[in-house]
């Protein structure tokens, strides 16, 4: 008597094996993924169909084991062919799931072509079985066909799904480390399943204890389903994080509105006396023109004018920070805006080595003066960080449905404590009287109005990478 017979009957093994995969399909189908924007949600339905089809196939196999002797050869042929269709079709959907998951990250045209190719090959194989072997009711035919489908679609589909899930597990570490591990374990489960369900023939007795291979397939099914059930909690975590972020953004938005109103009021109140002070300074210069030959008096006048100009700049930035009206966008080339910015900064960049690598980009909707202001601010910050000497690297390229602009320098890096605050209004690491802390905050607002993102990160050269993404309509 086999060891497995002492533990569990073969009939019960097939029942639990099928039930496990049916539970896998149901756990995905019943999961609410509408509120989540995770990319995996677009292809999980393929894994759900695999679970339902594969689980139902095992129950068909159980039905044949229990009642196969009661049917005629013709009836057995039809049931066996249906079972063959189920096992092959389930593995086809598993392969499509793996390819879709990989395609999410790589978006390779060859991967896209593999999906229809796999469907065509599967259909051709079924037509071959049906047309050329339809008169053959011998059980060996179905054993051969079953093994062929398992060694092609079963082995390949399980391996591709394994690879896709391992890649995805790395990508979701920033969301949740435990969830990342669960996806990794599901991938490992499919790797083991590719061996037991793809390479090893059904009803094989595994040495040295003569345990049916179906026992190991069932164990893999339990491993896959259990960890996938836990991994699906990523949608709850992602939705919760999204809601928390929306609440933070709302609170921040209300705070920014209040701050904007205050800034606008302060700016208007400052502008009037500044205008009067500037006019009076000009009158005093004209009135005491003879006294300006005295170097001390001249320095005093110059110092007063510099401070008036400085106050005017602050007032102007406060006004700009408080203005939140929509900007007018029109189709333009980002590369042209960058070239215009570099032309304006030609004198300041005279001691800096500038390297530009610009790909051919499609025109997108943007506001040229506003975007130019962003580039001016970022490049000016880089020049200051490099001390007017160093290397500035600018790269533009297209990634999926976005244009990516990277402005990189080898100047001074930003401390980790400050990186999260660089876009906060009035936050600055510059010395007193050298910055208002509004420049990057204004840039952030402009990029948001374009529907894009701006991120600052330290690079390996010791400086800072500013990455700006803009959507392609």
Domain boundaries of the chain, sorted by first residue? 3-232, 248-257+268-322, 327-471
Question: Is 112 or 24 the better-scoring residue by pLDDT?
Answer: 24
Of the candidates 403, 333, 400, 411, the one whose C-alpha atom is nearest the C-alpha of residue 372 is 333
pLDDT for 84-118, tens place per residue? 899 999 999 999 999 999 988 776 778 888 889 99
pLDDT for 42-97, tens place per residue? 899 999 999 999 999 988 888 888 876 777 777 877 888 888 899 999 999 999 99
How far the first Cα of the chain sits from its last, in Å, is 68
What percentage of the chain reaches a pLDDT higher than 70?
Answer: 82
Residue 25: pLDDT band with limits 50, 70, 90: very high
Q: Does domain 3-232 have CATH number 1.20.1070?
A: yes
Strand, helix or coil at 358? strand
pLDDT for 142-167, tens place per residue? 888 888 899 999 999 999 999 999 99
Looking at residues 7-14, what average pLDDT do you find?
71
Residue 228: pLDDT band with limits 50, 70, 90: very high
CB 265 within 8 A of CB 318: no
Establish whether the linkage from the previous residue to 208 is cis, with ω within 30° of 0: yes
Please tell me the least confidently modeled range out of 157-166, 307-316, 460-469. 307-316
CA–CA distance, 245 with 248 (Å, rounded to integer): 5
pLDDT for 351-391, tens place per residue? 888 888 888 888 888 888 888 888 888 888 888 888 767 88
- Residue 358 token pair: 């610009």
Residue 134: pLDDT band with limits 50, 70, 90: low
Q: Which fold has domain 327-471?
A: Heat Shock Protein 90 (3.30.565)
User: Which of 90-99, 130-139, 285-294 holds the top average pLDDT?
Assistant: 90-99
Residue 4: pLDDT band with limits 50, 70, 90: very low
On the question of pLDDT at 27 being above 50, the answer is yes
On the question of pLDDT at 317 being above 70, the answer is no
On the question of pLDDT at 325 being above 60, the answer is no
Please tell me the least confidently modeled range out of 23-27, 156-160, 428-432. 428-432
What percentage of the chain reaches a pLDDT higher than 90?
Answer: 21
- The count of residues in the chain is 473
What is the DSSP annotation of 231-263? HTTHHHHHHHHHHHHHHHHHHHHHHHHHHHHHH
CB 95 within 8 A of CB 161: yes
On the question of pLDDT at 222 being above 80, the answer is yes
């Amino acid at each position: 008597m086999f060891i497995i017979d002492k533990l569990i009957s073969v009939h019960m093994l097939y029942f639990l094996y099928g039930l496990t995969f049916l539970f896998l399909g149901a756990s995905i189908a019943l999961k609410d993924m509408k509120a989540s924007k995770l990319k995996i949600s677009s292809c999980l339905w393929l894994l759900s169909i695999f679970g339902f089809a594969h689980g139902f196939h095992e129950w068909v196999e159980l039905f044949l084991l229990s009642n196969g002797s009661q049917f005629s050869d013709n009836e057995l042929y039809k049931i066996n062919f249906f079972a063959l269709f189920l096992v092959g079709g389930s593995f086809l959907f598993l392969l499509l799931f793996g390819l879709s998951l990989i395609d999410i990250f790589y978006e390779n045209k060859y991967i896209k072509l593999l999906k229809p190719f796999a469907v065509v090959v599967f259909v051709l194989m079924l037509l071959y079985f049906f047309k050329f072997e339809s008169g053959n009711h011998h059980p060996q035919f179905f054993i051969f066909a079953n093994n062929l489908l398992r060694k092609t679609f079963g082995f390949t589909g399980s391996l591709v799904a394994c690879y896709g899930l391992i890649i995805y597990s790395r990508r979701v570490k920033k969301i949740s480390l435990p969830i990342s591990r669960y996806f990794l374990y599901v991938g490992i489960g499919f790797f083991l399943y590719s061996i037991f369900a793809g390479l090893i023939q059904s009803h094989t007795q595994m040495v040295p204890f003569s345990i049916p291979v179906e026992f190991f397939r069932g164990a893999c099914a339990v491993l896959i389903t259990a960890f996938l059930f836990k991994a699906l909690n990523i949608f709850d975590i992602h939705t919760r994080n999204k809601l928390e972020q929306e609440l933070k953004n709302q609170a921040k938005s209300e705070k920014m509105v209040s701050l904007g109103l205050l800034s606008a009021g302060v700016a208007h109140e400052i502008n009037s006396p500044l205008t009067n002070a500037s006019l009076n300074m000009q009158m005093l210069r004209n009135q005491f023109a003879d006294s300006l030959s005295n170097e001390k008096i001249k320095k005093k006048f110059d110092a007063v004018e510099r401070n008036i100009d400085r106050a005017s700049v602050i007032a102007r930035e406060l006004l700009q920070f408080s203005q939140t009206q929509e900007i007018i966008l029109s189709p333009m080339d980002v590369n042209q805006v960058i070239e215009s910015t570099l032309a304006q900064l030609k004198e300041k960049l005279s001691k800096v080595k500038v390297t530009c690598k610009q790909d051919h980009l499609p025109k997108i909707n943007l506001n040229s003066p506003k975007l130019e202001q962003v580039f001016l601010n970022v490049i000016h910050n880089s020049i200051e960080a490099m001390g007017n000497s160093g290397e500035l690297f600018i790269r533009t390229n297209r990634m999926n449905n976005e244009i990516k602009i990277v402005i990189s320098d080898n100047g001074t890096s930003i401390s980790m404590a400050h990186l999260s605050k660089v876009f906060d209004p009035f936050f600055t690491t510059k010395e007193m009287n050298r910055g208002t802390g509004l420049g990057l905050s204004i840039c952030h607002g402009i990029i948001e109005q374009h529907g894009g993102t701006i991120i600052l990160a330290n690079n390996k050269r010791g400086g800072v990478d500013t990455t700006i993404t803009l959507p392609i309509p």
